[in-house]
Structures are given as structure tokens and as C-alpha cells.
Amino acid sequence: MSFFKRVGRQVEKFKQTATETAKKDVVYQCQACDARINAQRDQCPECEAQTIVLTAGEE
Ligand SMILES: [Zn+2]
């Protein structure tokens, strides 16, 4: 029982770490509507413009 509890906690921690890393390292932004995207795409999910640029390091 306690084994599953421990594993569950580790998975939660990993999820948080992965999310924080993704936020810091890579941010893509649509130049047409300024939507922010965490993954690289050819098309903006908001306005479907193909103007996604990498804005890593920007706060
Ligand atoms: Zn857009």
C-alpha cells in the first residue's frame, strides 16, 4: 500500500518539475495574436496564422 503512495508522490513531483522546465526553457509566441504556446507548432491554435516564433528566455 505504502509503495503505491510513494510512487504517486514521485510522479506528482516529476510533473511539477517538467512543467516548470517547459515554462522556462521554451516559449513560442504567435506574432499575429501574441498567443503563447508551450510546444512548437506550424500553426497558431488561436488564430491559425503561421507566424510562430521562439521567445525563449523572455519573462
Ligand atoms: Zn495567433
Residues whose CB is under 5 A from ligand 1 (ion)?
A: 30, 32-33, 35, 44, 46-47, 49
Provide the 3-class DSSP secondary structure of residue 27: coil
The number of angstroms, rounded, from the C-alpha of 58 to the middle of its chain's C-alpha atoms is: 14
Is the pLDDT at 58 greater than 80? The verdict is no
Is the pLDDT at 23 greater than 60? The verdict is no
Domain ranges within the chain, ordered by starting residue: 2-54
The number of angstroms, rounded, from the C-alpha of 21 to the middle of its chain's C-alpha atoms is: 8
Is the pLDDT at 9 greater than 70? The verdict is yes
Alpha helices (H) in 1-59, listed in sequence order: 2-25
Q: Which residue has the higher pLDDT, 9 or 33?
A: 33
**pLDDT number for residue 24:** 61
Is the pLDDT at 45 greater than 90? The verdict is yes
Q: Which residue has the higher pLDDT, 21 or 10?
A: 10
- pLDDT average, residue stretch 48-53: 96
Q: How far does residue 32's CA lie from ligand 1's centre (Å)?
A: 5
